[in-house]
């Protein structure tokens, strides 16, 4: 351990302001990078669920490109 007390750890030898702002900013950006794809994915499933439900209620065949490549 490089620091003698928790207070010294927070102070970072007088550079605490810069160090902790950098790490806070990184935490925010990294969280956004990880959450954004998941959030988009959830929204996609919600939209599709709504679309399929409406189609089922109308008793319609869900429109699917039957000739779309299956690969």
Partner 1 sequence: MKYIFDRLRWPDGLRRLWHRMGSPRWFYETTGPWVPWLAAAAALLIGVGTVWGLAYAPPDYLQGDSFRIIYIHVPAAYLAQAGYILMAICGVVLLVWRMKLADMVMATVAPIGAAFTFLALATGSIWGKPTWGTYWIWDARITSVLILLFLYLGIMGLRRAIERPEAAGRACAILAIVGVINIPIIKYSVDWWMTLHQPATFSVTSAPAMPPIMWLPLLLNVLGFNLLFAVSVIQGTRTEVLLRERRTRWVTDLCRQERA
User: Which residues sit at the interface with partner 1, rule CB under 8 A?
Assistant: 1-3, 9, 12-16, 18-19, 21-23, 25-26, 29-30, 32-34, 36-38, 40-41, 44-45, 48-49, 52, 62-66, 68-71
Nearest approach, Cβ of 16 to partner 1 (angstroms)?
8
Q: Are 62 and 55 in contact (CB under 8 A)?
A: yes
Nearest approach, Cβ of 52 to partner 1 (angstroms)?
6
Cα distance between residue 55 and residue 65, in whole Å: 15
Cα distance between residue 43 and residue 21, in whole Å: 32
């Amino acid at each position: 351990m490089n620091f003698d007390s928790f207070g010294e750890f927070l102070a970072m030898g007088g550079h605490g302001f810069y160090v902790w702002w950098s790490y806070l900013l990184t935490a925010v950006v990294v969280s956004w990078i990880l959450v954004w794809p998941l959030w988009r994915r959830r929204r996609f499933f919600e939209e599709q669920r709504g679309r399929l439900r409406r189609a089922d209620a109308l008793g319609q065949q869900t429109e699917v490109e039957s000739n779309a490549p299956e690969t």
